[in-house]
Structure 1
Amino acid sequence: MTAPLHAQDSAPVLAIRGAGLQRGDRELWSGLDLDVAHGEFIAVLGPSGSGKTTLLRSILGLQPLSSGSIRVDGRPAQRGDRRIGYVPQQRPLPPDTSMRARDLVALGVNGTRFGLPIPRRGDRARVDALLESAGASHYAERPVGLLSGGEQQRLRVGQALADDPVLLLCDEPLSGLDLANQRGITGIIDRQRRQGAGVLFVTHDINPILGLVDRILYIAGGRFVLGTPDEVLQSRVLTELYGTAVFVLRAGDRLVVVGAPDAEGAHAHEAADPSAGHSGAHA
């Protein structure tokens, strides 16, 4: 994909230099250098426990690096940075949650204020605009506990976009969603990317987003590889990364990765075009 013309020559929205992370006495990875340009979409792949989510936590200022540095839009990463939007994995809210859909999105608009959230002029219009962009206007007044998982996830994306973030971090945001909702969520995220936001998208299933991805950061066994999908999703590359035989097979218009250990256990995932549904292939 091509970054917006106005952003092509600007400094990276995310700059990671010499970064290392440890969990206890185990090194997850080290020596990571990564620039994310405005309008660039980077997918982060790898087995469970490889440090994908921990990387996002470090960018959010919630997890200190063991080495190196992270800068967002030219400034050090810090907790509560409104320049960053965060979309978590879809987890259904309890059915008895009475908060309206509108109220959930409004937390992204006024949720960081101290004291009571006294509405400001323009807040309602901003919430209405976010609901519309997320395709959620028609259920804005409904209790979120009565909404489907896909409807709830649209609200989380709307909430994450409240401040027009320059960097969007997505942590398995499509997990558990049907194909229609996967397309809807990726469409919202892609619109933000086209407006110049950088996207870092953690996923186990690259199928719904492959057509949007500029580069892949693949982390496994304390090592990583970074490149375009064609450069990374190769049997030779992944075999070298994992240190065990891994095969990237083509099945019609889909790529299936077979033999990649997951969580230092067994897992494989598919790589396909955005129109393909999820059908995990296990080694």
Structure 2
Amino acid sequence: MSAVAFERVTLTYGGRRVLSDVSFSIPQGAFVGLLGANGAGKTTMLRAILGLIRRTGGAISVLGKPPTRGNPSIGYMPQARRALTHAGISGLDFVLTAAGGHRWGWPVASAAEKEAAWKALEEVGATDLARRPLAELSGGERQRILIAQSLIGDPQLLLLDEPLISLDAAHQRSIIDLVHEVGERLGIAVLFCSHQINPLLRAVDSVLYLGNGKAAIGSVDEVINGPVLSKLYGTHINVVRVAGRIFVMADDVELESGAHVHDL
């Protein structure tokens, strides 16, 4: 069974066609980098997998079933994280908001929910952060808390939307290594959204690259090359490899160098 499968899927948002006739399959247990220039449709795709956006055409399968809102088999780390600015909330309290998310208002956690929250914190090595206010944590420490929250309920699929935002290179490496290790240990599929390939090179099994409403999937070498990306974008793309890094260029402009922009 595939973790995620798209069969000739078309997605639209705000009257704009974001993806057109896209097909791919992600096997269970795979670590896949979801890549593409800003506005390519990465977040839109994640929201379709979550059942938050209805497809215009085609079929989507998530763990063998159609997408549904609130699927407990999916762990999701969104790009927007305004809740982290709350001065008083601790790491444990924040993780518990997912454990008790079915109730209205701030959760009064049951013993089972507390146990689930501590288990998720243990999975990411963050039990020492549980009692500390989020406002006092570093960017990398906050990301650990967010990843722990996405592990509540023992999901079979992790969707991480730009978890590397605002992190320096060292913290990026630690978060990628953490997610890779957790995915392998738990045997779950990971779809890791990023606007840059270079931080992910050591970890990904394959990449899913979006551009111009289309998608290409395969190994880094199979997908991130001039001919494939030129066909994807419908214009000449030059892929340059320097000192173990990859640069995707169009008319001497690096496509992955722009500011982070949310699809929706």
Q: TM-score, normalised by structure 2?
A: 0.88
- Report the equivalent of 2:215: 224
Q: Does 1:107 align with 2:94?
A: no
Stretches of structure 1 that go unaligned for 5 or more consecutive residues are 1-10, 270-279
Cα deviations across residues 173-194 of structure 1 (Å, max 9, x unaligned)?
1111122322222223213321
| Segment drifting more, 163-172 vs 20-29 | 20-29
Alignment map for 1:1-283 (pairs within 5 Å): 11-89=1-79, 91=81, 97-113=87-103, 117-194=107-184, 195-259=186-250, 267-269=254-256, 280=257
Higher RCO, 1 or 2 (CA under 8 Å, sep at least 6)?
2
In structure 2, stretches of 5+ residues that fail to align are 260-264
Match of 2:262 in 1: none
Question: CA offsets per residue over residues 134-167 of structure 1, 9 Å max, x none?
Answer: 2322221111122222221111100000112111
Cα distance change on mapping 1:90 and 1:174 into 2, 3 Å = farther
CA RMSD of aligned residues (A): 2.4
Three-state SS of the structure 2 residue aligned to 1:19 is strand
8 A contact 1:89–1:173 mirrored in 2: yes
Instruction: Give the distance between the partners of 1:18 and 1:126, measured in 2 at CA.
Output: 38
Q: CA deviation at 1:88?
A: 2.1
Contact in 1 for aligned 2:247/2:254 (Cα 8 Å) = no
Q: Percent identity?
A: 38
- Specify the code of the residue in structure 2 equivalent to 1:268: L
> How many residue pairs end up in the alignment?
258
What per-residue deviation string (whole Å, max 9, x for no partner) do you get for residues 24-82 of structure 1? 44322222222211111221211222211101011111111111222222221111111
Partner letter of residue 138 of structure 1?
D
d(CA) in 2 for partners of 1:198, 1:242: 27
Residue type of the partner of 2:69? R
Give 1:281 deviation, angstroms. Answer: 8.7
SS in 1 for 2:109: coil
* Cα distance in 2 between the residues matched to 1:61 and 1:135: 30
| Deviation string, structure 1 residues 193-213 (Cα, Å, up to 9, x no partner) | 212211112111122222221
Alignment-mate amino acid for residue 217 of structure 1: L
Maintained 8 Å contact 1:90/1:174:
no
